[in-house]
Amino acid sequence: MFLIDTILLAPVNGVIWIGEKLNEVVENELYDEGRIKEKLMELQVRYEMDEVSEEEYKKQEKELLERLDSIKKTK
């Protein structure tokens, strides 16, 4: 059972937000980061529904994580 989707884009239902610090984050970057996470989620869901092969999954995940990483580094 794999739930990357729900872990990644965690909702705010019953969530305790304890001083999550998002300052110093340019809105643009936040947006891009969110978009890549959304893509990761989409990839995961498609993989789960057998719409994407494991090989393709790994390839795309790697690309997306690298992009995410480079965004974080520029922060």
**Among residues 1, 27, 28, 55, which is the contact residue for another protein, using CB under 8 A?**
1
What is the closest distance, in whole angstroms, from the C-beta atom of residue 11 to another protein in the complex? 6
Distance CA 18, CA 58 (A): 34
What is the closest distance, in whole angstroms, from the C-beta atom of residue 66 to another protein in the complex? 9
The reply to whether 37 sits near another protein by the rule CB under 8 A is yes
**Among residues 32, 35, 41, 60, which is the contact residue for another protein, using CB under 8 A?**
41
Distance CA 58, CA 54 (A): 6
